[in-house]
């Protein structure tokens, strides 16, 4: 019988070498599932070996990557190595969807199943979402949610496609506390616009103001890809998506309503610290005090009252559109209404525009009760801006079709958003607030609707957009005269029982008015 001692010694030596060098372990013993070739050895490219070494050296890693570089697979291999050669390691994978997180666990399972017997740790639990070893180490997959990672003592947190994870700010705030005893984090993703957690984490890592090591993997790191491959991606994906998926381009990625280049320009040229921060919460930011030679507009959005929503307003110079003040915080509707009256009066009795949807009415009532003289009214039926009344403060209660505040509806919202995009595109605005710029970076097209990415707010964005729409329309009417509007309102008073607008004709075009015996269009108001 042969002496087993040399064999045992050889296995021990090989085991220790694998335990000390994850690159060696992966290249020699790990198998991956290739879509065409089946199970093949995981032969690491040079950039993959360098990335693996970085994972070993740094607690926190943020990886900005091109598509199809095998980095998720590499992360799975690193997880397998950590579980195999360490006791009681708790690894959590969080992704946009549970299936995405599950895929990474599946890659770990395939590699584990194909290890030689002397390397393979004994499993005590093995299902689609969880793989647990007898040595106490485990990997688990979950979908994104605010409670993901909470109250778990984590050894390694993997955020797969981190730029696309909903509510990731809250996830990181909760999970990072569980890493405080020495746990690691790997956040990997292609870019998905500017201003989200992944982008901010990457930028802060580049600037050296957080604890993350940053790793950028451009498509050119792959030795088998040349310009012909890159040109083909343009054809397959389109230039914008190809820039995101291949070039790691934050600016071109995502579908932000406002071009990221324009937002960066605003940030560089105009954004600055306020001269004063007022209030018990210091959330009223002032950049310029009132100038009594100028007119101002105050535009406000009233909070619904839940934890994810804020009351907000902006103060803009009417003529120049320079942002001179801003508020974003949590106040009762009564206190917010009082704040709006006080600040609007301070800024020369500014035109005060308050969105009147839902809870907004409570703030508006407070403003009316205080007798504020320059509250904005609009047409209840037609959604036009009654400039004559706003500029001359001549609102009459008998004109029953007029209501206080601005009504955001399916009709007005796209108009307001379009005006917002136009003013930025034409470079007609000066934004002072980094809070507003941050919201604009995550204000995207979700299908046909413009809104904040999930997990973010657009309170500042929408109140700002309303200010631009109202202001532009008001100035245009003031410049062109209000004769048409005066005729329409006179007719409304004269035929108050039936009104001047009827939905019996021109059903498809609600902007057609019957004024006397003539039909007139108010489309130019837009």
Is the same domain home to 249 and 296?
Answer: no
Q: Where are the alpha helices (DSSP H) in 259-372?
A: 260-269, 333-346, 360-369
Q: What CA–CA distance (Å, rounded) separates 136 from 153?
A: 13
Q: What is the pLDDT of residue 494?
A: 40
Residue 3 included in any domain: no
Last residue of a domain, one of 253, 274, 294: 253
Residue 9 included in any domain: no
Residue 1 included in any domain: no
Residue 25 included in any domain: yes
Q: What is the pLDDT of residue 517?
A: 52
Residue 332 included in any domain: yes
Last residue of a domain, one of 253, 277, 302: 253
Is the same domain home to 248 and 273?
Answer: no
Q: What is the pLDDT of residue 430?
A: 93
Q: What is the DSSP letter of 113?
A: H
Q: What is the pLDDT of residue 46?
A: 94
Residue 359 included in any domain: yes
**Residue (of 338, 265, 272, 526) closest to 419 by Cα position:** 526
Burial call 320-333: b when 16+ CB within 10 Å, e when fewer = ebbbbbbbbbebeb
Question: What tokens appear for 206 in the block?
Answer: 């580049």
Is the same domain home to 444 and 319?
Answer: yes
Q: What CA–CA distance (Å, rounded) separates 355 from 300?
A: 6
Residue 209, judged by CB atoms within 10 A of its CB (0-12, 13-18, 19+), counts as exposed
Residue 296 included in any domain: yes
Is the same domain home to 369 and 317?
Answer: yes
Q: What CA–CA distance (Å, rounded) separates 268 from 213?
A: 26
Task: Report how far Cα 276 is from the mean position of its chain's Cα atoms.
Answer: 28
Per-residue pLDDT of the chain (526 residues; tens, 9 = 90+): 456 677 788 888 999 999 999 999 999 999 988 877 888 999 999 999 999 999 999 999 999 999 889 999 999 999 999 999 999 999 999 988 778 888 899 999 999 999 999 999 999 988 888 899 999 999 998 877 645 656 568 899 999 999 888 778 888 888 888 887 789 999 999 888 777 889 889 989 988 989 999 999 999 999 999 999 999 988 888 777 787 788 887 765 567 788 877 888 899 999 999 999 998 789 999 999 999 999 899 999 998 655 567 899 999 998 899 999 999 998 888 899 999 999 999 999 999 999 987 788 889 989 999 999 888 877 665 444 444 444 444 444 444 567 788 888 777 788 889 889 989 988 999 999 999 998 998 888 776 788 887 777 899 999 999 999 888 765 554 454 433 333 333 433 343 333 322 333 344 454 555 544 556 555 544 4
Question: What tokens appear for 289 in the block?
Answer: 């005090």
Is the same domain home to 103 and 201?
Answer: yes
Is the same domain home to 285 and 192?
Answer: no
Structural domain boundaries enclosing 197: 16-253
Are the C-beta atoms of 420 and 258 separated by less than 8 Å?
Answer: yes
Is the same domain home to 121 and 246?
Answer: yes
Q: Number of folded domains in the chain?
A: 3
Q: Residue 513: helix, strand or coil by DSSP?
A: strand
Is the same domain home to 98 and 175?
Answer: yes
Angle between helices 71-84 and 46-57 (to 10 degrees): 50
Is the same domain home to 233 and 284?
Answer: no
Last residue of a domain, one of 253, 285, 313: 253
Task: Give the CATH number, domain containing residue 25.
Answer: 3.40.50.300
Question: What tokens appear for 188 in the block?
Answer: 């990997």
Is the same domain home to 266 and 247?
Answer: no
Residue 202 included in any domain: yes
Q: What CA–CA distance (Å, rounded) separates 216 from 190?
A: 10
Is the same domain home to 378 and 326?
Answer: yes
Is the same domain home to 249 and 277?
Answer: no
Does the model's pTM come out above 0.75?
no
Q: What CA–CA distance (Å, rounded) separates 475 from 318?
A: 9
Task: Give the CATH number, domain containing residue 282.
Answer: 3.30.420.240
Q: What is the pLDDT of residue 128?
A: 80
């Amino acid at each position: 019988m042969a002496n087993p001692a040399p064999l045992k010694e050889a296995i021990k030596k090989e085991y220790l070498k694998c335990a000390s060098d994850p690159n060696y372990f992966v290249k020699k013993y790990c198998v991956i599932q290739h879509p065409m070739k089946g199970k093949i050895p995981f032969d690491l490219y040079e950039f993959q070996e360098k990335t693996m070494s970085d994972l070993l050296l740094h607690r926190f890693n943020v990886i900005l990557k091109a598509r199809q570089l095998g980095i998720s697979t590499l992360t799975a291999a690193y997880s397998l190595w950590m579980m195999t050669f360490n006791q009681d390691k708790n690894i959590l994978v969080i992704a946009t969807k549970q299936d995405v997180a599950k895929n990474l666990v599946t890659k770990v399972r395939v590699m584990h199943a194909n290890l030689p017997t002397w390397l393979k740790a004994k499993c005590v639990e093995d299902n689609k979402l969880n793989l647990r070893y007898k040595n106490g180490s485990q990997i688990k997959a979950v979908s994104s949610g605010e409670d993901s990672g909470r109250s778990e003592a984590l050894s390694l947190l993997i955020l797969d496609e981190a730029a696309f994870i909903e509510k990731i700010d809250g996830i990181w705030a909760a999970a990072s506390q569980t890493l405080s005893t020495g746990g690691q984090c790997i956040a990997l993703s292609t870019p998905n616009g500017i201003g989200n957690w992944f982008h901010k984490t990457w930028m802060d890592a580049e600037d050296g103001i957080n604890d993350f090591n940053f790793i950028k993997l451009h498509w050119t790191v792959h030795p088998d890809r040349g310009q012909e491959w890159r040109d083909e991606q343009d054809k397959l994906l389109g230039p914008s998506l190809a820039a995101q998926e291949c070039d790691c381009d934050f600016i071109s990625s995502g579908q932000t309503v406002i071009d990221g280049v324009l937002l960066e320009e605003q940030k560089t040229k105009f954004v600055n610290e306020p001269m004063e921060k007022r209030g018990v919460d210091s959330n009223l930011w002032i950049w310029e005090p009132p100038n009594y030679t100028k007119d101002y507009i105050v535009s406000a959005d009233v909070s619904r009252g839940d934890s994810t929503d804020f009351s907000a307003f902006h103060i803009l110079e009417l003529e120049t559109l320079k942002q001179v003040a801003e508020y974003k915080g949590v106040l009762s509707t009564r206190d917010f209404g009082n704040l709006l009256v006080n600040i609007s009066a301070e800024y020369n009795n500014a035109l005060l525009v308050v969105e009147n949807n839902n809870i907004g009415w409570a703030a508006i009532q407070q403003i009316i009760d205080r007798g504020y003289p320059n509250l904005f009214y609009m047409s209840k039926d037609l959604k036009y801006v009654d400039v004559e009344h706003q500029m001359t403060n001549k609102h009459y209660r008998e004109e029953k079709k007029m209501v206080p505040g601005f009504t955001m509806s399916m009709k007005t919202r796209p108009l307001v958003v379009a005006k917002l995009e136009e003013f930025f595109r034409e470079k007609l605005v000066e934004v002072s607030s980094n809070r507003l710029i941050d919201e604009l970076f995550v204000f995207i097209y979700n299908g046909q609707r413009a809104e904040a990415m999930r997990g973010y707010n657009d309170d500042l964005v929408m109140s700002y957009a309303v200010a631009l729409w109202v202001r532009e329309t008001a100035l245009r009417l003031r410049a062109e005269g209000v004769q048409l509007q005066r005729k329409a309102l006179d007719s409304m008073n004269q035929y108050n029982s039936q009104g001047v607008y009827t939905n019996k004709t021109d059903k498809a075009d609600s902007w057609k008015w019957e004024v006397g015996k003539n039909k007139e269009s108010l489309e130019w108001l837009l």
